Amino acid sequence: MRVIVVGAGVVGTMHAWHAVERGHQVVHIEREREARGASLRNFGQIWVSGRAGGAELETALRARDLWEGIGARVPGLGFRANGSLTPVRTERELAVAEAASARDDAPARGYKLLTPQEARAVNPALRGDFEAALHCERDAAVEPRTAQLALREALLASGRYTFLPDREVRDVVGEQAVRDDHGEVYTGDAVVLCTGAALGGLVRELAPGIPVRRVRLQMMQTDPLGEPLPTSVADADSFRYYPAYRSPALDELNAGQAQPPTAAAHRMQLLMVQRRDGGLTIGDTHEYEHPFAFDVLEDPYEHLTAVVESFLGRPLPRITRRWAGVYAQCTDPSRVVHRQQVRDGVWLVTGPGGRGMTCSPAIAEQTADELNW
């Protein structure tokens, strides 16, 4: 087959990967010189721990296995099975962690509730005070700023892959064909549009009213920590934002323990991952109301700095970068992603939300299976 993939973020790149793996020719079209959206502006976390039970967790676990296999073949991904720790400090937070560790699917996630001493044996950098920590062994990480580049090098080496940057697809032409802003028409046996958060223009024309919204977040990067941070780290506010933690204990947490005002105002949680250069990627906020602000606000960064320093028991290294990103999130809770045939031979795949980096290999595999590639 000849497969046309539009969009070179992680979802589009993984569709190209599976097509090439199955022996097909791929033409990959990207409107920028390189992808610059949410696929780069994220933590690089393969975040199994917070996924909803059932199909979403199954997708995340399958994707995690795929990431590990691809990472063994493509070292530039920087895949590492680092796991995560979520320290808790209050009785209500501990109750949520206990409820999570008692789930039927807790073993599949690698959940285990650790004492402070056990948690520091896993991650000695956590020198601050906490009462316990929820460990998720199945969480992992890759390097988001270089993952697509590394995957593309491997795809180019196959001899069945063509990458065409600086070309924006404007029209679907007949069946199984698209036209770009250079006037070139690309025809294949299948076209997959992986447009990320670009939901206007062609997407609105092809699929008006899809259950997908845009979400904005703020993040930051630091200088090297000067020591290993062996696991990813979250705070207990993350319990409020991930479906795996829903329970009567979480209801009591939400009712009886308010978030700090800044965290509540910006719908915040702490997520933190160490990069291969030793620096820390730290976030994040959630903004849903349009139009989004065009600037970044300092209060969220000050809040995150205080939370991180309280866990590390030491000052945070110098912040070297701050940024905002926008991702597309499917609003239908029964779906991991929005996948829709929009014309004969043309499919739209978008809206994985904060699950994009985690689930993209399995999302693309499911598309390939459904389309009988």
Q: Which amino acid is at 85?
A: L
Please give the structure tokens belonging to residue 234: 């979250």
Which helix (H) or strand (E) covers residue 88, if one does? Answer: strand 84-88
**Interval 227-237 mean pLDDT:** 98
| pLDDT above 90: residue 178 | yes
Q: Is residue 49 part of a domain?
A: yes
Interval 299-345: pLDDT, tens: 999 999 999 999 999 999 999 999 999 999 999 989 999 999 999 99
Label residue 36 by pLDDT band (50, 70, 90).
confident
Please give the structure tokens belonging to residue 103: 């789930």
**How many domains is the chain partitioned into structurally?**
1
Q: Is residue 40 part of a domain?
A: yes
Q: Is residue 250 part of a domain?
A: no
Q: Is residue 246 part of a domain?
A: no
Q: Is residue 81 part of a domain?
A: no
Domain range for 31: 1-76+142-210+335-373
Query: Beta strand pairing status for 271-274 and 177-180?
Result: unpaired
Q: What is the pTM of this model?
A: 0.96
Mean pLDDT taken over the chain: 97
Q: Is residue 239 part of a domain?
A: no
Give me the pLDDT at residue 174, please: 86
Q: Is residue 84 part of a domain?
A: no
CA distance 373 to 358: 23
CATH number at residue 24: 3.50.50.60
Q: Which amino acid is at 211?
A: P
3-class state of residue 254 by DSSP: helix
Q: What angle do CA 112, 41, 321 make, to 5 degrees?
A: 100
Q: Is residue 113 part of a domain?
A: no
**Interval 124-139 mean pLDDT:** 98
